[in-house]
Amino acid sequence: MAAATPLEVVNDFCDAVNKQDLDAVVAFFSDDAVYHNIPLEPITGRDAIREALEGFLAMLGTMTFDTLHALADGPIVATERVDSFSNGDRTVALPVAGFFEVHGGKITAWRDYFDMGQVSSQMAG
């Protein structure tokens, strides 16, 4: 069986997010992966990424990714997404440009760019 392409890895990763399967989500990362929500500090290492995602989910609730576009150039995958967070009766929908680096079938870097002001205003409203 052929190894998954970087685009397939990222698509499968987004599917795992949508299934709310944190173990599967974390398994996509290399041990030394870097996750960087650009307005925040980068997070390094699979265990630290798990901890950060658990914190986001505890604060924001259920997380889903609606991928509008995805394209790959070698190991780099770019996504245009709408990430939604639902907690009780409140849903926050956030446009995101995400970039992934995939090597050896694992995500080694994940960078998301979004408007922190939009997050703050939706969470407050």
pLDDT digits (tens, 9 = 90+) for 42-74: 999 999 999 999 988 888 788 999 999 999 999
Q: What is the pLDDT of residue 112?
A: 97
Q: Return the active site residues.
A: 83, 112
Mean pLDDT, the chain, rounded, equals 91
pLDDT recorded at residue 92: 86
User: HEC string of 60-91?
Assistant: HCEEEEEEEEEEEECCEEEEEEEEEEEECCEE
Q: What is the DSSP string of the chain?
A: -PPPPHHHHHHHHHHHHHTT-HHHHHHTEEEEEEEEETTS--EESHHHHHHHHHHHHHHH-EEEEEEEEEEEETTEEEEEEEEEEEETTEEEEEEEEEEEEEETTEEEEEEEE--HHHHHHHHH-
Per the listing, tokens 């939604």 go with: 84
Q: What is the pLDDT of residue 122?
A: 62
Give the pTM: 0.90
Residues 6+ apart with CB under 8 A from 16: 24, 25, 28
Using the predicted structure, report yes or no on whether residue 83 has a pLDDT greater than 70: yes
- Domains of the chain: residue spans and CATH: 6-124 (3.10.450.50)
Q: Given this model, what pLDDT does residue 61 score? A: 84
**Is pLDDT at 119 greater than 70 in this prediction?**
no
CA of residue 70 relative to chain centroid, distance: 13
Give the pLDDT confidence of 25-41 residue by residue, as tens digits: 999 999 999 999 998 89
Mind listing the pLDDT tens digit for each residue in 104-113?
A: 999 999 999 9
